[in-house]
Amino acid sequence: MRSDDRRVAPWPKLDPARRSAEVRAYFDRRAAVYDPVADRPYWAFSDRVLLALLRRTLLAGLGEGEDLRILDAGGGTGRWALRLLGELPRATALLADVSPGMLEVARRKAARTGARDRLSLLELDLNAPLPRGLGRFDVVLCFHNVAGLVADPAALMRRLVHATAPGGRVALVLPNLWQAAAKSLRDGRPSELGRLAARSAVRYGDGVPEVLVFTPSVARRCLEGAGCRDVTVHGFPVSVHPEGPGEDLPAFLDDPRLLRRLVPLETELCMPVEAAARGNNLLAIGRRPGK
């Protein structure tokens, strides 16, 4: 971590090799059950809101994505790389992840969905410099806690922005410090509040890697410090939060018809940047200058 990064967030200094090994082992163990967890009602709702936000921000004006290259850094089983290929039917994507187990799941999903010819896979440690020869990408993603699972999030953002073509767009989904505190209390882990206050980090359970967390202002400063312009940070969802250790939807939202009506309303509430701190997650978007 550079000395000026310390002014962004009080993250601990972590060993990159140890961090990579811990994260790789954890997600290799979780590869077979990762998608079923993400398909649970609350997270399915959250994903629908995120996709609606992306259509209004990151994807706006990209059309069908002709000749666009997407990098999904830490993309796991390919959930979001494949979604974006569906949104941009003339784009291609590179999915990079440290876990061979997650990449194997992504490989099978790409074959099932007919995206195999448009999706490339690369085993990649995000704690290390990106390999030379990858070229530049028009859209760069780093979603769902990935930036909080490296040794140095600010350094990762610099590498991702460097991999972005001039005029290209970068989007990160980041763990929100304030919601990490709320979740720790819901889960009966009040001691995690001390870790959050001292280290801007949280551990969600035994055997789970420590996650470095962000506030909206930290997310914005990190992306700006990495070289991005026009940075915005949104929270999502902001009005519907998970309930209990099982991360369930509130009971009154069991009605699928109500959920369908709620997604566009929730998306409107998520658009004002003033609401970001209420988000269960943060969506930070920036543009690399040029072009």
Q: Which of 203, 200, 228 is nearest to 214 (CA)?
A: 200
Q: pLDDT per residue over 142-194, tens digit each?
A: 999 999 999 999 999 999 999 999 999 999 999 999 999 999 998 899 999 99
Share of the chain above pLDDT 90, in %: 78
SS (HEC) of 261-272:
HHHHHHHHHHCC
pLDDT digit string, tens, across residues 233-273: 999 999 988 876 656 777 666 777 888 889 999 999 999 99
| pLDDT at residue 240, as a whole number | 85
The predicted pLDDT at position 247 comes to: 66
Cα gap 229→167, rounded to integer Å? 10
Residue 50 sits at the vertex; the CA angle it makes with 165 and 275, to the nearest 5 degrees, is 100
- The per-residue pLDDT for 206 is 87
**pLDDT of 232-241, one tens digit each?**
999 999 998 8
Q: What is the mean pLDDT of residues 76-103?
A: 96
Is residue 269 within 8 Å of 280, Cβ to Cβ?
no
User: The whole model's pTM is what?
Assistant: 0.94
**Angle at CA of residue 226, ends 225 and 230, nearest 5°:** 80
Q: Is the pLDDT of residue 105 over 70?
A: yes
Collapsed DSSP state (helix, strand, coil) of residue 123: strand
* Domains delineated in the chain: 3-287 (3.40.50.150)
Identify the pLDDT of residue 65. Answer: 86
Q: Say if residue 16 is exposed, middle or buried (CB neighbours under 10 Å; 0-12, 13-18, 19+).
A: middle
